């Protein structure tokens, strides 16, 4: 398990790896062509439990937490990445200010 670090952003490839580790390899995720970040999580085979596990993993690795309400609004990987990066930016601004 990696220790807590303070990266500047979460990327789609990193989140994709996290989702695979949390929910297992999914054929839809592997076989999908195009912008995987815009595909509905449900279509990719990820349910709310996979999303919560990924959020927990992101909290451990990146030091930011997504609220239950925030998670409920996330429908795509890109939305997840954006939500995490907004919190990372807010945390960085808070430390700088």
Q: What value does the mean pLDDT of the chain take?
A: 85
CA 13 to chain centre: 10
Closest CA to 48 of 30, 27, 66, 64: 66
Share of the chain above pLDDT 70, in %: 81
13-53 confidence digits (pLDDT tens): 999 999 988 887 655 555 556 688 999 999 988 899 999 99
Separate counts of helices (H) and strands (E) for the chain: 5, 0
User: Quick check: 2 pLDDT over 50?
Assistant: no
């Amino acid at each position: 398990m990696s220790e807590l670090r303070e990266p500047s952003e979460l990327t789609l490839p990193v989140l994709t790896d996290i989702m695979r580790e949390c929910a297992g390899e999914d054929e839809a995720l592997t076989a999908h062509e195009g912008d995987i970040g815009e595909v509905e999580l449900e279509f990719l085979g990820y349910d709310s439990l996979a999303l919560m596990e990924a959020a927990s993993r992101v909290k451990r690795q990146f030091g930011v937490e997504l609220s239950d309400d925030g998670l409920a609004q996330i429908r795509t990987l890109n939305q997840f990445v954006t939500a995490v990066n907004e919190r990372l930016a807010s945390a960085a601004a808070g430390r700088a200010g």
